[in-house]
Amino acid sequence: MEGVGFDHLSINNTMGSFAGHIDEGIIFIVLAVWWFWNIWKRHTKTSDRKTEYTSYLSYTTTVRGRSVPLEAILKVLFPFGAIWAEVFSAESFINEEGQFSYLSNMQHMTVYMLFLLHGILEIIRFYRPNQFEGMSYLAVCLGFLWYGTTFYYHSMPNMGKEELENIIHRLPIPVIMVCGLCLIFECIWRHSVYPQLIRTYCVLTVGTWFTYTSFVLFLPYPFPGPHHNPAWDQSDERNVHFMVVAFGIHLNINLIFVLLSTVVLTVFKRMFYACADGNGNNDIMDVKYSLLDTSDDTITSEENV
């Protein structure tokens, strides 16, 4: 677009920095691990009690004996902070010639808005479980599908970026799109654990990838790290091909992590069950946690796992 400099689309915005990449990576990793832990607890409970498993988008925590939708609150705060950062980092969205500028910031803001809406809906569902049924799934599903779509346009060859940066943003697109599709299946088949597990694995992979590539693309200092890392020649074709290998390594490592975590947690649970049987207490593995909603769309403030 005439009048829109490529520097406005890349370096001079929050996503074009070390902080802009690693913050999303860490958030996705923490969210995926949190989901996996709660999925395992919920699935263990339903398997042991021979009841039907039900998937959930968010889990609450207990603070001083009260159930708090902490995950949903953070889903509001982080996107809101990201939107504010995009607005703050842009000098103006209209340049002196009357043309749009900082279009990359605008693209990011449209993604954050969908995740922000999802968080708001989750909070509403916590306090009013019969409101906006299914809308939270729709918001987060659109969020991931649009996330992947913007990455496609963000990494187009004619966007004025080096090929290394393009391939880094292009590789996770299929994983992000699969995550969005899994949310559709999860909404339809609420009693299957597999769409939820695949969704968690995809988010974990995107998180580790962003964390790793933030060090590849940028120097972490001075904060927020707007300078490219000179150790990686972004025009070197060998580095571009290595990124493909690196993404495959992330796919393998994260899958191994999920499998090993399942095995370790299962062995840990059986050890405690054996200890409980020896002491006549079969409730030693009961862990209190709260669900955002239940399968019949009513709130259960606290359950034993």
Write out pLDDT tens, residues 241-251.
Answer: 999 999 999 99
Q: What is the C-alpha to C-alpha distance for residues 245 and 143, in angstroms, rounded to an integer? A: 28
Report the b/e string of 10-26 with b at 16+ CB within 10 A.
Answer: bbbbbbbbbbbbbbbbe
Reported as half-sphere exposure (CB side, CA atoms, 13 A), residue 262 has a value of 14
Element containing residue 213 per DSSP (H, E): helix 194-217
- Look at 6-20, 60-74, 247-261 and tell me which has the smallest mean pLDDT: 6-20
Greater confidence, 305 or 52?
52
Given a contact cutoff of 8 angstroms between Cβ atoms, the answer to whether 178 and 10 are in contact is: no
Q: What is the CA radius of gyration of the chain?
A: 21
- Look at 61-65, 98-102, 168-172, 299-303 and tell me which has the smallest mean pLDDT: 299-303
The CA–CA distances, whole Å, from 209 to 62, 83, 203, 215 equal 31, 22, 10, 10
In degrees rounded to 5, what are phi and psi of residue 283? -105, 15
- Residue 248: which residues within 8 A CB-CB, separation 6 or more? none
* CB atoms closer than 10 angstroms to residue 56: 20
Mean pLDDT is highest, among 152-161, 182-191, 225-234, for 182-191
* CB atoms closer than 10 angstroms to residue 108: 23
- Residue indicated by tokens 């699935």: 43
Mean pLDDT of the chain: 85
**Amino acid letter, residue 6:** F
In this prediction, residue 203 carries a pLDDT of: 98
4 pLDDT band, cuts 50/70/90, is: very low
* CB atoms closer than 10 angstroms to residue 188: 10
Peptide bond before 172: cis, by omega within 30 degrees of 0? Answer: no
Beta bridge mates, 289: 303
**pLDDT tens digits, residue range 153-170?**
888 887 778 899 999 999
Q: What is the C-alpha to C-alpha distance for residues 165 and 155, in angstroms, rounded to an integer? A: 8
Residues recorded for the chain: 305
